[in-house]
Structure 1
Amino acid sequence: MTSTELEEIVPVLRYANYEVTSPVDDGYNCAAWAVGDNVRFWDPSPIGAYHWPDGLPRDRSTATYILAFETVGFSVGGDASLEAGIEKIAIYGLNGQFQHAARQLADGRWASKCGEKEDIIHSHPYELEGDELGYGAVVAIMRRSLTGAAR
């Protein structure tokens, strides 16, 4: 897929400073990628062979996704700045529904998996916001300590 094709799917990328860092891979999605899992597709759908933490509701609300990320050690709090020893993810939502998740890299930039398409690196999580062209708005920044974090 070319950058132009990716920008057709995620139009806000036309205005973002990003680079494609992987080929298309439908084996995982943005939620999985954000928490460092690039072998499973995290989705609450009861249909299909998706991963979803036991005991959580099977809906697409941002609140439910936040609960899912808490099961792997993340907690809500902080901002998008780089902090030593802390791993951060940004949760995007629109009208209360989960849209996307991105994770911060060690150099302060952010990484996203664009649906079932490529992984990208972008400068800041807010670059991907937009109700019609992007992933809604960043509704939460979550963080976990890198000490003992499963990756």
Structure 2
Amino acid sequence: MDDRFRAKYPRLGDGHFQVTSAESPRYNCVAWAAGQDSRWWAPIEFSWWPETAQVGWSVKALESVFKLMGYDIASDPGLVPGLEKVAIFAADDEWTHVARQLESGYWTSKLGQGVDIEHELDGLAGSPYGDVAVIMSRPRSSAPSAPPPLRYLSYDVVGA
């Protein structure tokens, strides 16, 4: 494994891990988990965020984003045929990262402005992302789902 990943995410070396894309600053983990790769989704100025979702860094705010896309709270991160899952990571009661489960049972993540990776769920736990706080699931569709309507956040939306 590349040393740049080993230092920041030490648990990635314990199991399945592979880089699946080139680096890209165009999108982040939230967009990637939502199946999008053209906009940066974040509750901060000069970013995109679903129109009717709560704006903020609380886990509940990120849950509201995925509820708009048909996800509900789930109890188990294990693979269930016919379900697509996301895992919301948090530290100090604020979300830090989100990963999406693949049909293989492995997870896919976008690491900031860097690469996409395929990994085991616990591969990112204990890293700067904290730990998995919430698992959500929805029926898996063969067609990509459309994102909820997005708005571009400006200073007056996110505050000082």
> In which range does the TM-score fall when normalised by the shorter chain?
0.7 to 0.9
Gaps of 5+ in 1: none
CA contact (8 A) 2:54 2:62 kept: no
- Cα displacement (A) at 1:134: 3.9
* 1:143 alignment partner, one of 119, 123, 137: 137
Structure 1 length normalisation: TM-score? 0.85
Q: Deviations over 1:27-48 (max 9, x none)?
A: 1101111111111111011x21
Q: Which residue of 2 aligns with 1:129?
A: 125
Q: Which residue of 1 aligns with 2:158?
A: none
Q: Which residue of 1 aligns with 2:151?
A: none
- Cα displacement (A) at 1:84: 1.5
Q: Is 1:17 the counterpart of 2:16 in the alignment?
A: yes
**How far apart, in 1, do the equivalents of 2:29 and 2:85 lie?**
14
The residue correspondences of 1:32-43 to structure 2 (distance < 5 A) are: 32-43=31-42
Q: CA RMSD in A?
A: 2.0
Q: Which has the larger radius of gyration?
A: 2
Identity %: 33
CA contact (8 A) 2:20 2:116 kept: yes
The residue correspondences of 1:42-57 to structure 2 (distance < 5 A) are: 42-45=41-44, 47-48=45-46, 50-57=47-54
CA contact (8 A) 1:11 1:134 kept: no
CA contact (8 A) 2:88 2:95 kept: yes
* 1:68 alignment partner, one of 65, 69, 80: 65
**How far apart, in 1, do the equivalents of 2:58 and 2:77 lie?**
22
Runs of 4+ in 1 over 4 A off after TM superposition: none
Q: Which residue of 2 aligns with 1:96?
A: 93
Aligned length: 145
**How far apart, in 1, do the equivalents of 2:73 and 2:133 lie?**
10
- Cα displacement (A) at 1:17: 3.2
Letter in 1 for 2:95: F
Structure 2 length normalisation: TM-score? 0.81
